[in-house]
Amino acid sequence: TSLPRNRLLHWGPIFALSITFYIGTVSTYFAIMWWPLTTLGGFLNLALFFFWNYSTMVNLARASFIGAGHVPLGWTPDEKVPKQEESFDALLQWCEPCSGYKVPRAHHCSNCGRCSMKMDHHCRKNS
C-alpha cells in the first residue's frame, strides 16, 4: 500500500537520505584513495561500495515511501483457514475503536486511528 508523496518530501526522510548519501560518497572517495582503481582489487572494492551504497539508499527510500501497512477496514478472517489445536478465532483480537478484527502483531494506533502491523509506521527516521 503506497502512501502519498508528501510522506517522503519532508525533513525526516530527506535528512536521512542526504546523510546516507553523503556518508556513502565520502566512504567511496576514501576507498578509491586507499585502493586505486588501477588494480582489479580496487575495481572490485569500488563495485562493492557502489552496490552497498545503492542498496542502502534504495531500501531507506522504500522504507520511507512505502508504509508499514494497515489492516483493511472491515477485514474478517477467511472461514477456509484450517483449524488447528486452538481455534483460529482465539488467535485474533477484536479492536473496539476500529470495530474489526486485528491480525496477529497488529496494534491500534491513536495517531492514525487504524490498526498497523508492528507499530513501526511512525518511526521518525522513516516518516
Write the pLDDT tens digit of every residue in 101-122: 777 777 787 777 777 776 655 5
The arithmetic mean of pLDDT across residues 14-37, rounded, is 86
pTM above 0.75, yes or no: no
Banded model confidence at residue 15, pLDDT cuts 50, 70, 90: confident
Mean pLDDT of the chain: 75
Q: Which residues are catalytic?
A: 123
Cβ count within 10 A of residue 115: 24
The pLDDT, as a whole number, for residue 69 is 67
Residue 101 dihedral angles phi and psi, to the nearest 5°: -75, 150
Cβ count within 10 A of residue 116: 21
The pLDDT, as a whole number, for residue 51 is 92
Domain locations in the chain as residue ranges: 5-65, 68-127
| H-run or E-run covering 50 | helix 40-65
